[in-house]
């Protein structure tokens, strides 16, 4: 297979499979499941050569494909990956397989549509990470809303319609301003190529307007305080698979957007307005951490914890400018942000899957309905405790790596940033471990809990794979950091030159 | 100086005229069971017209702009592109309407004859080169539309809306004629290029601008743009769906051609004046269309308000110079394709004695028939302008043209209201996918209608591959003016 078309294959194969599954019709649920699993495994296998053949020594785009799609608007079908996008693509294909496995038994209503929606989602997300043309990026970015809208709305909980419409309107509203910004940039530079857009000279006022347009789109997506309110609703109502994809990958698109658009295109505005983003990030880390502590619903708790962790990502990204000014280790901040994104992808996925396991058996997510789960589900209890620990940033797990790097970088920028950010080590431990204490340990709470059966082979497999990933990344993060190092350095060079 | 050779360029119009007359006569002898013949004849006529139109573009030679009949009629590239789009839309209209008329027991030959005469009017509106010719085309479309709206004659709603349409339409025509007469008074001519030349030479354009205002009122009425949109919801709702299907699609393309001929070609000398008015009309249409659509329970009425907002978006393109005109042209063609599919879906879901015109009639469509729910999803998403469907690309080209001219605020307002508008489209998707179905009627439509509708809906995706060529046709068409 030529490496030339690898990215296209990754994008289009799931779509084709999705249409195939839709054509199977509602009658053949078993076949739809098998077919979807096969397709997602093929995607995962295809992403192995992507990792293997990736050249770590260059920041240039690799596996590039380009042809002119709409010449009158100069929109190109232009794909490529660098060290920042590549790990996220692998994360996407990896998580998708687990998501499909996790929905194996739970989803009984229109299975074929469920599987097709997930495969479409997969290809859109891969497309977002591959797109080197801003309009192509935007199309993938928006197109993924519809499958997610349907996933929450059809297979979600009791309040699903409210949640899904809120999700849709928030993200749609955020991103249309990005559209205007992109068109404006096209007017200035005559190109939709993201790399060329970064080279367009812009005055500070222009940059500030553009910065806010991009900021609105990505801040809603990641999500940042105070536009985060859609996320807890969406998470609570979404089916387990939907929550997993949402937390593990879709939130990362916001962070990726900051790295790909905001920083290189509007470096001066990002530096000028860095204080705003840093403040909001710190509020997210501290305040949302406190909110997470008082949640009664496990999914809501994990959702708030996600927002708090994403605060770390934005903090890491935007202290970069202060570090450049002070001569600090900027690489560490950005690599930390990336490591945090990848690690959170694994941990949040695992936690949502754990809650899914409990919900499938008890049909409640309320913490007060549980207690003493360890007595009836020892294996599951072990996993749950492990993932909760890694969510709290226990050293040796992947959760520690990113947080530690960002806290170290923040120290070089400002002591108080680091101090506030480090608070999360306390809050994170508090809300994660307190939840585990109430759910897993203690007396057997009720008749229902005493009748629970431990996880089966399929569930064990899913959680074990994630646990291995979390441990591996925590003990030896070097391969991951290594892949992105050159691309991150290149990005830093790009943003340290003022455009004004 | 009339020569027989002048008839060759108008061959498509002649074919449609002949078909219309044939269908009128055939209609006398055929009962509703054998009505397939009428539909077939109409389709064949349109196909032949399409061939006659396209033939001038085959081979190496380019079509040269021809002004015929003493400057009354023009055959140019833009006209041909628009006409081919209209033929394409008409094929869908013929096929969908047959299903509907049979369900309602109002299948009569006159329906197709009227439709074909209306098509003739559309073609004249697109190709008129003189205010009088343009007006005749416009009236031909209007008169046949009045009759088509009242076609379900035992239905009070249908009659009421036809009456409303007729009275308001007559007033608008009066306005238009009044404005045209003033422009005639100022320039001494009714021919498009001569008006343009006369305005270019004159120092004082006050009278022309005065006439322009009235002309714009007439044009906005025909387009259904706010604040002259009052007839649109009532007519869309009251008319038989087969008629709504028609008046929401092909005549909009004609109105675009009409507006280009009048505004861009003849009144280009006062472009600064009319652009200000058009900007207000466009933004008003987008705001009113989207806000009022939020309230609707009747899907035909909802589509009516959504049409108003789409027309507003299309008119925005008129602010963007030549790029903008071609963007508008692309917008109106793709919009007509969506609109025809949307009403086609209502027809397919209706059956004998039941019309799926409430939003609640779409409840649980996904459980009843997953395929058509998916098709409706594509249509609705395209109307709302969600990527990657074609409706997004058409909004994109218009926005690009508008931003290019520095109208950032207008673009911002348009985009914000597109987001607000997405809510009512989402509501339809929500109804189809998330609500429980309260009837489990089978979809009784024939195989032909079902497959054509699926094709029409899939075009919202499939056109993505052809966007470059369609856009370049539009650019070339506007360039050839």
Whether A139 contacts chain B with CB within 8 A = yes
Residues of B in contact with A110 (CB under 8 A): 366-367, 370
More confident residue, A236 or B354: A236
Whole-angstrom CA distances from A392 to A246, A265, A403 are 20, 34, 10
Stretch (H or E) spanning B68? strand B66-68
Q: DSSP for B18-59?
A: HHHHHHHHHHHH--STTTHHHHHHHHHHHHHHHHHHHHTTSS
pLDDT of residue A320: 87
Query: Is 50 exceeded by the pLDDT of residue A1?
Result: no
Q: What whole-number distance in Å separates Cα of residue B377 and Cα of residue B358?
A: 17
pLDDT of residue B145: 93
| Two tokens, residue A136 | 């192509």
Q: How many beta carbons lie within 10 A of that of residue B243, not counting itself?
A: 30
B383-403 confidence digits (pLDDT tens): 998 888 899 999 989 988 888
pLDDT > 90: what percent of chain A?
24
Q: How many beta carbons lie within 10 A of that of residue B132, not counting itself?
A: 14
Whether A179 contacts chain B with CB within 8 A = yes
Query: Is 50 exceeded by the pLDDT of residue B224?
Result: yes
Tell me the mean pLDDT in the region B65-83.
86
More confident residue, A272 or A328: A272
Residues whose CB is less than 8 angstroms from the CB of residue B116 and which lie 6 or more positions away in sequence, other chains included? B16, B19, B20, B23, B42, B45
| Two tokens, residue A409 | 């970088």
pLDDT band at B217 (very low <50, low <70, confident <90, very high): very high
Reference A258, options A292, A211, A302; nearest CA is A211
Closest Cα in chain B to A213: B412
Reference A131, options A87, A72, A91, A77; nearest CA is A77
B118-136 confidence digits (pLDDT tens): 999 999 999 999 999 999 9
Stretch (H or E) spanning B137? helix B131-149
Pairing of strands B66-68, A62-70: unpaired
Contact B468 A187 (CB under 8 A): no
Closest Cα in chain A to B472: A72
Reference B271, options B209, B330, B219, B344; nearest CA is B209
Contact B475 A72 (CB under 8 A): yes
Residues of B in contact with A164 (CB under 8 A): 430, 434
pLDDT band at B2 (very low <50, low <70, confident <90, very high): low
Q: How many beta carbons lie within 10 A of that of residue A480, not counting itself?
A: 21
Residues of B in contact with A70 (CB under 8 A): 393, 467-468, 471
A167-223 confidence digits (pLDDT tens): 988 888 888 888 888 988 888 888 888 888 888 888 888 889 999 999 999 999 988
Q: What whole-number distance in Å separates Cα of residue B63 and Cα of residue B67?
A: 12
The answer to whether the beta carbons of residues B125 and B83 sit under 8 Å apart is no
The answer to whether the beta carbons of residues B297 and B253 sit under 8 Å apart is no
pLDDT > 70: what percent of chain B?
97
Query: Is 80 exceeded by the pLDDT of residue B309?
Result: yes
Whether B356 contacts chain A with CB within 8 A = no
Residue of B388, B404, B414 to mutate, interface with A, max A Cβ within 10 Å: B388
Contact A149 B426 (CB under 8 A): yes
pLDDT of residue B290: 92
| Two tokens, residue B151 | 């076609």
Residues whose CB is less than 8 angstroms from the CB of residue A328 and which lie 6 or more positions away in sequence, other chains included? A322, A409, A412, A413
Which residues 84-113 on chain A approach chain B with CB closer than 8 angstroms? 110, 113
| Two tokens, residue B250 | 């092909």
Which residues 13-72 on chain B approach chain A with CB closer than 8 angstroms? none
Residues whose CB is less than 8 angstroms from the CB of residue A279 and which lie 6 or more positions away in sequence, other chains included? none
pLDDT of residue B61: 63
pLDDT of residue B33: 63
Q: What is the 3-state secondary structure (H, E, C) of chain A?
A: CCHHHHHHHHHHHHHHHHHHHHHHCCCCHHHHHHHHHHHHHHHHHHHHHHHHCCCCCCCCCEEEEEEEEEHHHCEEEEEEECCCHHHHHHHHHHHHHHHHHHCCCCCCCCHHHHHHHHHHHHHHHHHHHHECEHHHHHHHHHHCHHHHHHHHHHHCCCCHHHHHHHHHHHHHHHHHHHHHHHHHHHHHHCCCEHHHHCCCCCCHHHHHHHHHHHHHHHHHHCCCCCCCCHHHHHHHHCCHHHHHHHHHHHHHHHHHHHHHHHHHHCHHHHHHCHHHHHHHHHHHHHHHHHHHHCCCEHHHHHHHHHHHHHHHHHHHHHCHHHHHHHCCCHHHHHHHHHHHHHHHHHHHHHHHHHHHHHHHHHCCCEHHHCCCHHHHCHHHHHHHHHHHHHHCCCCCCHHHHHHHHHHHHHHHHCHHHHHHHHHHHHHHHHHHHHHHHHHCCCCCCCHHHHCCCCCCHHHHHHHHHHHHHHHHHHHCCHHHHHHHHHHHHHHHHHHHCCCC
B58 — phi, psi (to 5°)? -75, 155
Helix, coil or strand: residue B130: strand
Residue among A145, A150, A187 whose CB faces B433 most closely: A150
pLDDT of residue A218: 92
Q: How many beta carbons lie within 10 A of that of residue B466, not counting itself?
A: 12
Residues of A in contact with B388 (CB under 8 A): 139-140, 142-143
* Beta bridge partner(s), residue B74: B67
* Beta bridge partner(s), residue B66: B75
Residue among A72, A139, A184 whose CB faces B471 most closely: A72
Tell me the mean pLDDT in the region A74-98.
90
Query: Is 80 exceeded by the pLDDT of residue B159?
Result: yes
More confident residue, A372 or A385: A385
Q: What whole-number distance in Å separates Cα of residue A293 and Cα of residue A435?
A: 8
The answer to whether the beta carbons of residues A362 and A371 sit under 8 Å apart is no
| Two tokens, residue A66 | 């380009």
Q: How far off is chain B from A339, nearest CA to CA, in Å? A: 31
Q: How far off is chain B from A187, nearest CA to CA, in Å? A: 6
DSSP assigned state of B67: E
Cis preceding-peptide flag for A329 (omega within 30 of 0): no
Reference B16, options B81, B107, B112; nearest CA is B112
pLDDT of residue A2: 46
pLDDT band at B34 (very low <50, low <70, confident <90, very high): low
pTM of the model: 0.89
| Two tokens, residue B211 | 């006439």
CA angle B338, B344, B347 (to 5 degrees): 155
Contact A180 B430 (CB under 8 A): no
Range of lowest pLDDT (A99-113, A461-475, B126-140): A99-113
Q: What whole-number distance in Å separates Cα of residue A432 and Cα of residue A437?
A: 9
Contact B386 A177 (CB under 8 A): no
Residues whose CB is less than 8 angstroms from the CB of residue A16 and which lie 6 or more positions away in sequence, other chains included? none
Stretch (H or E) spanning B75? strand B73-75
Q: What whole-number distance in Å separates Cα of residue B225 and Cα of residue B318?
A: 13
Distance of CA A321 to the CA centre of its chain: 23
Closest Cα in chain A to B366: A110
In the block, tokens 């900007």 appear at B279
Task: Please count the residues of chain B.
Answer: 481
Helix, coil or strand: residue B389: coil
B439 — phi, psi (to 5°)? -140, 150
Looking at every residue in chain A, the average pLDDT score rounds to 88
Task: Please count the residues of chain A.
Answer: 500
Range of lowest pLDDT (A398-402, B57-61, B215-219): B57-61
pLDDT of residue A415: 87
| Two tokens, residue A472 | 């591996």
The answer to whether the beta carbons of residues B6 and B68 sit under 8 Å apart is yes
Tell me the mean pLDDT in the region A276-301.
90
Contact B388 A139 (CB under 8 A): yes
Whether B466 contacts chain A with CB within 8 A = no
A23-78 confidence digits (pLDDT tens): 887 878 888 888 999 999 999 998 888 888 888 888 888 888 888 888 878 888 88
Contact B387 A169 (CB under 8 A): no
């Amino acid at each position: 297979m030529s490496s030339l078309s690898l990215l296209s294959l990754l994008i289009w194969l799931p779509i084709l499979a999705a249409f195939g599954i839709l054509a199977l019709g509602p009658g053949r649920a078993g076949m739809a499941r098998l077919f979807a699993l096969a397709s997602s495994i093929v995607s995962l296998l295809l992403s192995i050569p992507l990792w293997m053949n990736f050249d770590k020594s260059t920041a240039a785009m690799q596996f590039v494909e380009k042809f002119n799609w709409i010449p009158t608007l100069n929109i190109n079908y232009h794909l490529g990956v660098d060290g920042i996008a590549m790990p996220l693509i692998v994360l996407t294909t990896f998580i998708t397989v687990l998501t499909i496995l996790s929905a194996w038994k739970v989803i009984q209503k229109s299975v074929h549509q469920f599987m097709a929606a997930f495969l479409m989602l997969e290809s859109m997300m891969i497309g977002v990470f591959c797109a080197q043309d801003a309009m192509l990026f935007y199309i993938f970015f928006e197109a993924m809303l519809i499958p997610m809208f349907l996933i929450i709305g059809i297979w979600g909980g009791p309040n699903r319609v409210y949640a899904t419409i809120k999700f849709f309107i928030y993200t749609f509203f955020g991103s249309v301003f990005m559209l205007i910004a992109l068109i404006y940039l096209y007017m200035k530079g005559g190109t939709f190529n993201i790399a060329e857009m970064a080279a367009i000279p812009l005055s500070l006022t222009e940059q500030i307007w553009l910065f806010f347009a991009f900021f609105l789109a990505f801040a809603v997506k990641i999500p940042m305080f105070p536009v985060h309110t859609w996320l807890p609703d969406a998470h609570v109502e979404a089916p387990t698979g939907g929550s997993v994809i949402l937390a593990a990958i879709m939130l990362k698109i916001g962070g990726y957007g900051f790295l790909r658009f905001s920083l290189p295109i509007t470096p001066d505005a990002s530096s000028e307005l860095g204080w705003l983003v840093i403040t909001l990030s710190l509020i997210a880390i501290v305040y949302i951490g406190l909110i997470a502590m008082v949640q009664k619903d496990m999914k809501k708790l994990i959702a708030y914890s996600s927002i708090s962790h994403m605060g770390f990502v934005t903090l890491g990204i935007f202290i970069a400018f202060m570090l450049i000014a002070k001569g600090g280790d900027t690489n560490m901040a950005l690599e930390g942000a990336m490591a945090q994104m990848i690690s959170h992808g694994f941990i949040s996925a695992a936690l949502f899957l754990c809650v899914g396991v409990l919900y499938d058996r008890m049909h409640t997510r309320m913490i007060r309905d549980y207690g003493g789960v360890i007595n009836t589900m020892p294996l599951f209890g072990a996993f749950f405790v492990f993932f909760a620990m890694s969510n709290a940033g226990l050293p040796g797990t992947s959760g520690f790596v990113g947080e530690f790097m960002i806290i170290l970088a923040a120290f070089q920028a400002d002591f108080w940033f680091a101090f506030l950010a480090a608070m999360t080590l306390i809050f994170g431990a508090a809300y994660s471990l307190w939840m585990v204490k109430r759910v897993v340990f203690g007396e057997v709470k009720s008749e229902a809990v005493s009748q629970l059966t431990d996880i089966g082979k399929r569930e064990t497999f899913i959680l074990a794979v994630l646990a291995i990933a979390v441990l591996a990344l925590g003990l030896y993060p070097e391969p991951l950091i290594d892949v992105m190092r050159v691309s991150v350095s290149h990005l830093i060079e790009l943003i340290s030159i003022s455009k004004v | 100086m009339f020569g027989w050779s002048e008839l060759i360029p108008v061959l498509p119009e002649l074919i449609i005229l002949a078909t219309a007359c044939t269908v009128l006569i055939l209609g006398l002898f055929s009962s509703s069971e054998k009505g397939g013949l009428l539909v077939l004849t109409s389709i064949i006529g349109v196909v032949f017209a399409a061939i006659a139109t396209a033939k001038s573009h085959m081979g190496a030679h380019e079509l040269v702009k021809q002004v015929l009949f003493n400057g009354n009629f023009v055959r140019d590239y833009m006209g041909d592109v628009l006409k081919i789009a209209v033929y394409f839309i008409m094929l869908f209209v013929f096929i969908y309407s047959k299903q509907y008329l049979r369900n309602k027991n109002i299948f009569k030959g006159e329906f197709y004859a009227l439709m074909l005469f209306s098509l003739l009017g559309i073609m004249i509106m697109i190709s008129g080169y003189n205010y009088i010719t343009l007006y005749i085309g416009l009236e031909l479309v209007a008169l046949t539309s009045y009759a088509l709206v009242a076609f379900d004659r035992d239905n009070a709603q249908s009659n009421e809306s036809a009456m409303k349409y007729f009275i308001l339409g007559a007033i608008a025509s009066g306005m238009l004629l009044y404005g045209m007469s003033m422009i005639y008074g100022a320039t001494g001519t009714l021919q498009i290029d001569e008006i343009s030349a006369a305005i270019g030479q004159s120092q004082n354009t006050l009278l022309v601008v005065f006439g322009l205002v009235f002309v714009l009122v007439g044009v906005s009425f025909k387009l259904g743009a706010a604040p002259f949109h009052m007839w649109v919801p009532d007519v869309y709702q009251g008319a038989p769906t087969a008629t709504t299907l028609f008046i929401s699609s092909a005549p909009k393309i004609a109105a675009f051609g009409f507006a280009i001929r009048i505004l861009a070609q003849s009144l280009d000398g006062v472009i600064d004046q009319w652009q200000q008015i058009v900007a207000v009309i466009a933004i008003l249409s987008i705001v009113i269309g989207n806000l009022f659509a939020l309230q609707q329970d009747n899907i035909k009425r909802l589509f009516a308000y959504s049409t108003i907002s789409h027309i507003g978006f299309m008119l925005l393109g008129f602010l963007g110079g030549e790029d903008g005109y071609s963007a508008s042209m692309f917008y109106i063609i793709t919009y007509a394709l969506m609109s025809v599919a949307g009403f086609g879906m209502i027809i397919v879901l209706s059956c004998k004695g039941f019309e799926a015109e409430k939003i609640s009639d779409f409840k649980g469509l996904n459980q009843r028939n997953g395929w058509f729910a998916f098709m409706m999803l594509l249509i609705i998403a395209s109307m709302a302008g969600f990527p990657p469907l074609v409706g997004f690309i058409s909004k994109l080209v218009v926005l690009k043209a508008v931003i290019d001219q520095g109208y950032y605020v207008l673009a911002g307002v348009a985009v914000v209201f597109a987001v607000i508008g997405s809510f009512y489209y989402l509501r339809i998707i929500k109804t189809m996918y998330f609500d429980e179905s309260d009837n489990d009627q089978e979809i009784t439509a024939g195989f032909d209608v079902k497959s054509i509708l699926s094709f029409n809906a899939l075009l919202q995706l499939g056109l993505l591959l052809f966007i470059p060529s369609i856009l370049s046709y539009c650019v070339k068409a506007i360039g050839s003016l």
